[in-house]
């Protein structure tokens, strides 16, 4: 385990902007005494929105630049008890409010295979760490696709847990009704170990449909009314009180009107019923994760300067539906580009089985992945 941690540390490229805090000495010390378990041998990078006792946790904000939590979030502690070793805390959009892959306080996150682009966000740092071998597992959060979007941009696996499947205790909230935890890995077998799923079903027994033949009902704009309602409640007052401590992009988002909450709730109830009816005889739905390629650094920086969100819009067409439904969702690379697999809560083994099948032609075991 010590040699794996050292290899992970050596794989960190500071120019990619994956990490806010690297805990090299602590990781090596923990590796010497790591317990046995399902996650034995795995190096973990934790999104810096998630508390880790004694290890600086900034939430991507200068307001928390010197924040050292007293407790470790259950999602991290679970893997540590199972033998994993945390190597550090990863970069993110400030307070996870955005998908651009840019943090004005901690810098750009750059796509490893094309540094003129970002990996998207908000869990971009965790995706970079996994894609480059600086971690076997990235722990992230996903409120509108923030795990699946950077996974798609980086060509790796990203899993968003179902609502309530994983504790969100000691995780800084953004929009609690839609906040989910999840994981990024290079391969499905590693994700299977992390989730503790021992056996996957046969793909041929699954009722699978593709978006080209059965598109999901479009997510109504009213979803964003309810999203803003929650995000504003958490961040609007502090941003008004300490405007210097918030990036310009957050001020743009927090200045947006919330909208008609009552109508939004009615519209969203009808949309969920329509989705349930559409997928009544379906186990898994496969569709795109994002529209187009990863965002260009130049476009992301132009958006920040100009107070616009143009580069983020194509990333948010498909992924937020899973959060609005509370369903688990898996992003995998395929020969036809990244694809999202959506299923009901309880369908996690089926998602992984189909994900392994769809990604088989483009994903090969990495030398960093433990058997």
Domain harbouring 47, CATH code: 3.90.1300.10
Average pLDDT over residues 238-253: 97
Rg, C-alpha atoms of the chain: 19
pLDDT digits (tens, 9 = 90+) for 46-82: 999 999 999 999 999 999 999 999 999 999 999 999 9
- The percent of residues above 70 in pLDDT, for the chain, comes to 98
Selecting among 61, 100, 122, 126, the annotated active-site residue is 122
Residue 152 scores a pLDDT above 60: yes
Q: Is 116 a catalytic residue?
A: no
In a domain, 323, yes or no: yes
Selecting among 123, 126, 144, 146, the annotated active-site residue is 146
In angstroms, what CA-CA distances link 225 with 2, 12, 93, 270? 48, 39, 21, 15
Residue 136: name the closest of 75, 74, 84 by CA: 84
Residue 19 scores a pLDDT above 50: yes
Region for residue 98 given its phi and psi (left: phi exceeds 0; alpha: psi -120 to 50; beta: otherwise)? left
Q: Is 122 a catalytic residue?
A: yes
How far is Cα 24 from Cα 357, in angstroms, rounded to an integer?
36
Helix 222-241 vs helix 261-278: crossing angle, to nearest 10: 140
In a domain, 37, yes or no: yes
In angstroms, what CA-CA distances link 8 with 3, 4, 30, 133, 259? 9, 6, 14, 6, 46
Give the range of the structural domain holding residue 349, as residue numbers without chain letter.
Answer: 1-219+278-371
In a domain, 97, yes or no: yes
Residue 368 scores a pLDDT above 60: no
In a domain, 326, yes or no: yes
How far is Cα 223 from Cα 217, in angstroms, rounded to an integer?
13
Selecting among 47, 100, 126, 311, the annotated active-site residue is 47
Give the β-pairing of 208-210 and 329-332: unpaired
Res. 364 pLDDT band, cuts 50 70 90: low
pLDDT at 370: 47
The torsion angles phi and psi of 337, rounded to 5 degrees, stand at 105, 175
Average pLDDT over residues 24-31: 97
In a domain, 224, yes or no: no
In a domain, 229, yes or no: no
pTM of the model: 0.96
Question: Is there a contact between 158 and 331 (Cβ–Cβ < 8 Å)?
Answer: yes
How far is Cα 35 from Cα 346, in angstroms, rounded to an integer?
29
Res. 367 pLDDT band, cuts 50 70 90: low
In a domain, 283, yes or no: yes
pLDDT digits (tens, 9 = 90+) for 188-201: 999 999 999 999 99
How far is Cα 294 from Cα 117, in angstroms, rounded to an integer?
6
Q: Is 89 a catalytic residue?
A: no
In a domain, 312, yes or no: yes
Tokens (6 digits) for 199: 């056996």
The tally of domains found in the chain comes to 1
Residue 365 scores a pLDDT above 70: no
């Amino acid at each position: 385990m010590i040699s794996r941690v050292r290899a992970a540390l050596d794989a960190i490229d500071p120019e990619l902007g994956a990490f806010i805090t690297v805990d090299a000495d602590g990781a090596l010390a923990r590796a010497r005494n790591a317990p046995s378990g399902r996650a034995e041998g795995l190096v973990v990078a934790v999104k810096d929105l998630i508390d880790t006792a004694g290890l600086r946790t900034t939430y991507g904000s200068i307001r928390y630049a010197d924040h050292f939590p007293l407790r470790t979030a259950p999602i991290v502690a679970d893997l540590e008890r199972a033998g994993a070793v945390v190597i550090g805390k990863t970069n993110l959009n400030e307070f996870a409010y955005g998908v651009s892959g840019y943090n004005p306080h901690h810098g750009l996150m750059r796509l490893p295979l094309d540094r003129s682009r970002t990996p998207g966000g908000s869990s971009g740092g965790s995706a970079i760490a996994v894609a480059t071998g600086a971690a076997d597992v990235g722990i992230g959060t996903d409120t509108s696709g923030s795990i699946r979007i950077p996974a798609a941009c980086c060509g790796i696996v990203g899993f968003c847990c179902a609502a309530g499947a994983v504790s969100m205790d000691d995780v800084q909230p953004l929009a609690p009704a839609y906040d989910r935890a999840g994981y990024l890995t290079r391969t499905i077998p590693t994700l299977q170990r992390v989730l503790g799923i021992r056996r996957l079903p046969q793909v041929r027994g699954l009722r699978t449909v593709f978006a080209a033949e059965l598109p999901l009902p479009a997510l109504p704009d009213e979803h964003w009314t309810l999203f803003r309602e929650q995000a504003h409640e958490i961040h609007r007052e502090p941003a008004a009180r300490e405007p210097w401590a918030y990036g310009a992009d957050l001020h743009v988002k927090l200045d947006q009107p919330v909208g008609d909450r009552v109508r939004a709730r009615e519209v969203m109830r009808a949309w969920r019923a329509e989705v349930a009816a559409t997928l009544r005889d379906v186990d898994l739905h496969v569709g795109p994760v994002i529209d187009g390629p990863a965002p260009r650094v130049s476009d992301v920086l132009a958006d920040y300067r100009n107070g616009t969100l143009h580069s983020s819009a194509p990333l948010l067409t498909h992924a937020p539906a899973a959060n609005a439904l509370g369903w688990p969702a898996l992003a995998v690379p395929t020969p036809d580009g990244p694809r999202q697999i959506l299923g009901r809560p309880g369908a996690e083994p089926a998602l992984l089985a189909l994900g392994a099948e769809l990604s088989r032609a483009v994903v090969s075991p990495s030398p960093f992945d433990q058997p």
